[in-house]
């Protein structure tokens, strides 16, 4: 697993989008960083663990019938 150090104003969905490729991974990101679950907007310098995203966990933006 890799890490990400937050910038002032970072939010879960922005971090998931920029670091993991999709806002759909917010729950996985939060699960990997439960100690910060009550934080909505981060200050600078918080070190978060980034979950590993594999082919099996990738989220498709297409509905199931179009995949």
pLDDT along the chain (67 residues), means of 10: 95 96 93 96 98 72 55
Q: Give this prediction's pTM.
A: 0.80
User: Where does the chain have alpha helices with state H?
Assistant: 12-15, 26-31
Per-residue model confidence (pLDDT) at position 58: 59
Residue 43, CB-side half-sphere exposure with 13 Å CA sphere = 0
Per-residue model confidence (pLDDT) at position 64: 58
């Amino acid at each position: 697993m890799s890490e990400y150090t937050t910038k002032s104003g970072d939010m879960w969905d922005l971090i998931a989008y920029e670091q993991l490729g999709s806002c759909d991974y917010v729950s996985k990101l939060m699960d990997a960083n439960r100690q910060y679950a009550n934080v909505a907007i981060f200050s600078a310098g918080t070190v978060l663990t980034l979950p590993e995203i594999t082919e099996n966990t990738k989220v498709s933006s297409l509905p199931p019938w179009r995949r």
